[in-house]
């Protein structure tokens, strides 16, 4: 195995093609004002040497110092929702030749700050963040210095920045109302920490639907602070053991939905207890009954956020926009199970 040779530089290309640095630079950057013959000579030297434009050096010198890279901070790159979001952001980035630095925050505010720091050290042009932190004023310095931010899934706190979030309260309300219309009164709520804006909005949609229907809240049927599949499964098993268990359940997030599905299945109650989840679950249509959900549109969210970010990077200084994307109720069976006396 041969020792790594030095990478050819723009100098080497200039020497081989018998011209100056600047002309090579012009060719590499596709600038006008180079004769076709020279351009061809330069190009052939580039091919011959296997020269690759060094974007790091380029952006260092270039005024404005764009790096043609952005950061994307997700909850977890392996979560389906995060993955779909990532994918749609990548699509727009690709069109612009922008690279995407992706990382998982895992619900940890300290990680979020640390990762923002890593991205700042790499001088990304902008960051799309699905936040965990509840105070984003720490981003003020980065913003002042020209880094653009767009928030997805959750709105920023103590920072005036663009955001793209689904219609959480409206969607939850629709999902819960759907089960109320099926005759259910005892509808459980299973969600994550209410300190997360998204979660609290979903909870308020639940409350609004019950209130509108004149159904009193039962604290025993409301569980929040769920963090994973396991805790959600255990918590719902406990609800099933109540003297007067719920006849329906609304799960406020996909991981929680999966936990509850396992609990229902373990107790063989999937076709007895109505269930609507917020956020789609993979293969939800193949289960029996199918899993009814209030589906977000991660592709729309990602596309909108990316478009917003690139507009900002391009100099758009219009007022902060908070986009709310629509959700839709997907009826697959579990949410359409009607209340029957015997199930009490």
Residue located via tokens 């392996």:
78
Binders of a second copy in range 125-144 (CB under 8 A):
141-142, 144
**CB closer to a second copy out of 79 and 204:** 79
**CB closer to DNA out of 21 and 212:** 21
Closest to 66 in 3D by CA, of 99, 113, 112: 99
How many chain residues touch a second copy (CB under 8 A)?
60
Q: Are 132 and 112 in contact (CB under 8 A)?
A: yes
Closest to 314 in 3D by CA, of 129, 154, 125, 153: 125
Residue located via tokens 């229907």:
213
The contact mask relative to DNA for 278-317 (x = CB under 7 A, - = no) is: ----------------------------------------
The contact mask relative to DNA for 22-61 (x = CB under 7 A, - = no) is: xx-xx-xx--xxxx-xx--------------xx--xx-xx
Contact between 219 and DNA by CB under 7 A: the answer reads: no
The contact mask relative to a second copy for 45-84 (x = CB under 8 A, - = no) is: -----x-xxxxxx-xx------x-x------xxxxx-xxx
- Hey, how many other C-beta atoms are within 10 angstroms of the C-beta on 325? 19
Extract the tokens encoding 163. Answer: 């955001």
How many chain residues touch DNA (CB under 7 A)?
29
CA distance linking residue 70 with residue 93, whole number of Å: 8
- Report the sign of the C-alpha dihedral through residues 70, 149, 60, 16, in that order: positive
Task: Give the full edge-to-edge strand order of the sheet including 222-223.
Answer: 222-223, 187-190, 248-251, 274-278, 292-295, 328-330
**CB closer to a second copy out of 146 and 326:** 146
Instruction: Tell me which residues touch DNA (CB under 7 A).
Output: 6-7, 9-11, 19-23, 25-26, 28-29, 32-35, 37-38, 53-54, 57-58, 60-63, 65
């Amino acid at each position: 195995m041969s020792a790594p040779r030095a990478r050819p530089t723009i100098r080497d290309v200039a020497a081989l093609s018998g011209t100056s640095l600047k002309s090579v630079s012009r060719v590499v950057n596709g600038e006008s004002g180079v004769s076709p013959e020279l351009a061809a000579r330069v190009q052939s030297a580039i091919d011959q040497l296997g020269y690759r434009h060094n974007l790091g050096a380029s952006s260092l010198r270039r005024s404005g110092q764009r790096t043609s890279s952005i950061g994307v901070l997700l909850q977890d790159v392996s979560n389906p929702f995060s993955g779909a979001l990532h994918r749609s952001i990548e699509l727009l980035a690709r069109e612009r030749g922008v690279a995407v630095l992706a990382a998982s925050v895992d619900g940890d505010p300290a990680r979020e700050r640390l990762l923002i720091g890593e991205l700042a050290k790499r001088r990304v042009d902008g960051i799309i963040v699905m936040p965990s932190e509840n105070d984003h004023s720490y981003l003020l310095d980065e913003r002042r210095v020209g880094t653009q931010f767009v928030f997805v899934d959750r709105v920023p706190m103590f920072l005036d920045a663009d955001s793209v979030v689904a219609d959480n309260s409206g969607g939850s309300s629709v999902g819960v109302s759907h089960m109320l219309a099926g005759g259910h009164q005892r509808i459980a709520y299973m969600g994550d920490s209410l300190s997360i804006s998204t979660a609290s909005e979903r909870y308020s949609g639940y409350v609004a639907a019950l209130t509108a229907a004149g159904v009193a809240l039962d604290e025993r049927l409301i569980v929040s602070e769920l963090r994973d599949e396991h805790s959600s499964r255990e918590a719902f098993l406990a609800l099933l053991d109540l003297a007067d268990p719920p006849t329906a359940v609304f799960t406020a997030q996909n991981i929680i939905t999966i936990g509850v599905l396992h609990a229902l299945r373990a107790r063989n109650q999937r076709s007895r207890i109505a269930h609507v989840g917020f956020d789609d679950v993979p293969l939800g249509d193949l289960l029996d009954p199918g899993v009814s959900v209030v589906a977000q549109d991660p592709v729309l969210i990602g596309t909108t956020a990316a478009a917003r970010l690139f507009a900002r990077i391009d100099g758009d200084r219009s007022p902060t926009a908070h986009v709310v994307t629509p959700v839709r109720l997907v009826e697959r069976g579990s949410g359409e199970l009607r209340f029957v006396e015997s199930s009490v």
